[in-house]
């Protein structure tokens, strides 16, 4: 009997720690989201208003704008990152010595702080003294006069590129490990049967990569929905509100407008969206066993 209790005692500190740092804030913020609490008015939480904050979100044009931008931002970032990282992985997954050095170098962008990356890119994209701006202008003269962060479309392109740049190495490494772990026999058999390289890629490599593609897309979607630092440092949601993703909108509502109730509700909506994605992916992932 004593032994049975003992293991719970050992678990208790971790349990209390998780309750204090995760469960309590989660529940508390949900409780706040059911209240009208404007920190500009008072430091005490306002009256209970049920789901009014959630209803308010659905009639708020700024909210819908940020949802739409989040969808564009997330979809393009995830698709681009995955496509590019598979290509990079295919190029780097050979068993050559010099490639293993390349793979180490590859991880460097990922090791940098995203906030720093955002600032650096803002600097490099500056039309007057930006390095990247000059390079683009040199290589593709018609694009020399583009102010990258100065219009809705180009700012979004810049933002997506930067986030892809950040995540590409990590995703590539995932695919490299997947590709290098594949049984060689299958490819040898395909070669014997006279399959071309493209046929091998589409009929063997990619289908066998599917479980990894799925995991990568779950992770990438979650990472992108959570992206915050590059947006703050690169565009501040601008020009206008053209790069104001949901995450940034929540931050603004909470910490600039101090509308705590509403921003908690928005936070929960974002969490729900994320959870829906995760559930869809997870279900496919569980079924994914059949593909192997």
Partner 1 sequence: MKKFKIVRMVAILGLMMTLLITGCSNSDAGGESTEGKTVKVLLSAGDVGQFNAWKARSKEFTERTGIKIKFIETPYENLLEEITADGIAMGGAYDLVAHLDTMGSSINQFLEPLDQYVERDNFNVDRWPEASVDRSTFDGKLYSLPVRAHAQMLFYRKDIFEQLGLEPPKTWADLEAASKKITDETDLYGIVPYYGAGHNGQNLFMWTSYLWSNGGKIFNEDLNPVFNSPKGLEATQRYIDLLVTDKVAPPGSVTFGEQDSRTYFKQGKAAMWIGWWWVYSEFNDSEASAPEVVGNVDFATVPGWEGKGSVPSITTFPLGMMKGSKNKEAAWEVLKWLSDPELELDIVMDTLKGESPSNQKSIVITQTENLRNKELNKLTDGFYNVAADNLENAKTLPKMKEWPRVSDIISSAISKIATGEPVEPTLNEAAEQVEKLLEESGYYD
- Binding status of residue 17 toward partner 1 by CB under 8 A: no
Distance CA 48, CA 289 (A): 47
Q: How far is the CB of 271 from partner 1 (least distance, A)?
A: 16
Under the binding rule (CB under 8 A), the answer on residue 137 touching partner 1 is: no
- Looking from the CA of 56 toward its CB, the CA atoms found within 13 Å total 16
* Dist. CA 220–CA 160, nearest whole Å: 13
Among positions 224-243, residues that touch partner 1 (CB under 8 A) are 235-242
Nearer to partner 1, 200 or 236 (CB): 236
Q: Give phi and psi for 236, each to the nearest 5.
A: 55, 30
CB 237 within 8 A of CB 254: no
The token pair at 109 is: 């962008």
- Contact call for residue 258 and partner 1 (CB under 8 A): yes
CB of 126 to partner 1, least distance (A): 6
Q: How far is it, in rounded angstroms, from Cα 281 to Cα 276?
A: 9
Nearer to partner 1 by Cβ, of 109 and 127: the residue is 127
Residue 120 vs 152, nearer CB to partner 1: 152
At 38 the three-state DSSP class reads: strand
Report the candidate in 162, 167, 159, 171 with the shortest Cα–Cα distance to residue 248.
159
Nearer to partner 1, 147 or 195 (CB): 147
Which position among 256, 289, 290, 292 is part of the footprint of partner 1 (CB under 8 A)?
A: 256
Residues 252, 273: Cα–Cα separation, whole Å: 19
For the chain, the distance separating the N- and C-terminal CA atoms, rounded to the nearest angstrom, is 45
Nearer to partner 1 by C-beta: 56 or 210? 56
Judged by CB under 8 A, the stretch of 18-26, 95-103, 266-274, 283-291 that binds partner 1 is: 18-26
Q: Would you say 117 or 158 has its CB closer to partner 1?
A: 158
User: How far is residue 14's CA from residue 20's CA, in Å, rounded to a whole number?
Assistant: 10
Q: Which positions ≥6 away from 224 have C-beta within 8 Å?
A: 73, 74, 77, 78, 163
Instruction: For the chain, give the number of residues.
Output: 292
Residues 176-205 binding partner 1 (CB under 8 A) are none
With CB under 8 A as the contact rule, the residue among 20, 107, 189, 199 that binds partner 1 is 20
Number of residues this chain uses to bind partner 1 (CB under 8 A): 37
Stretch 50-69 residues interacting with partner 1 (CB under 8 A):
61-62
Residue 240, phi-psi category: left (phi > 0), alpha (psi -120 to 50), beta (remainder): left
Distance CA 266, CA 252 (A): 11
Tokens of 107: 């991880």
Question: Is 289 a residue that touches partner 1 (CB under 8 A)?
Answer: no
Window 140-179: residues binding partner 1 (CB under 8 A): 145, 147, 149-152
Q: Closest distance between partner 1 and the C-beta of residue 288, in Å? A: 38
Question: How far apart are CB 283 and partner 1 at their closest, in Å?
Answer: 33
Q: For partner 1, which is the closer residue by CB, 3 or 40?
A: 40
Q: Which of 24, 138, 202, 291 binds partner 1 (CB under 8 A)?
A: 24
Residues engaged in binding partner 1 (CB under 8 A) = 20-21, 24-25, 28-29, 32, 38-43, 61-62, 126-128, 145, 147, 149-152, 235-242, 252, 255-258
């Amino acid at each position: 009997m004593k032994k049975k209790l003992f293991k719970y005692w050992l678990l208790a500190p971790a349990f209390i720690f998780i309750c204090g740092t995760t469960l309590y804030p989660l529940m508390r913020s949900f409780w706040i989201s059911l209240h009208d609490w404007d920190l500009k008015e008072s430091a005490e939480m306002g009256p209970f208003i049920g789901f009014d904050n959630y209803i308010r979100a659905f009639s708020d044009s700024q909210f819908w704008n940020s949802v739409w931008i989040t969808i564009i931002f997330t979809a393009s970032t995830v698709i681009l990152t995955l496509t590019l990282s598979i290509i990079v992985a295919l190029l780097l997954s050979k068993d050559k010595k010099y490639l293993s050095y390349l793979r180490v170098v590859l991880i460097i962008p990922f090791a940098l702080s995203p906030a720093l990356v955002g600032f650096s890119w803002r600097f490099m994209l500056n039309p007057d003294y930006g390095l990247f701006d000059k390079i683009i202008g040199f290589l593709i003269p018609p694009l020399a006069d583009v102010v990258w962060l100065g219009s809705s479309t180009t700012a979004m392109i810049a933002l997506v590129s930067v986030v892809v740049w950040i995540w590409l190495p990590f995703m590539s490494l995932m695919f490299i490990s997947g590709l290098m772990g594949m049984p060689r026999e299958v490819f040898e058999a395909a070669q014997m049967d006279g399959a071309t390289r493209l046929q091998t890629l589409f009929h063997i490599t990619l289908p066998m990569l599917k479980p990894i593609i799925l995991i990568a897309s779950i992770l990438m979607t979650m990472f992108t929905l959570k992206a915050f630092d590059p947006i703050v440092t690169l565009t501040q949601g601008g020009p206008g509100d053209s790069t104001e993703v949901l995450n940034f909108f929540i931050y603004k509502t909470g910490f600039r407008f101090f509308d705590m109730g509403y921003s908690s509700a928005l936070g929960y909506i974002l969490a729900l969206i994320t959870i829906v994605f995760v559930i869809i992916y997870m279900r496919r992932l569980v079924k994914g066993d059949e593909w192997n």
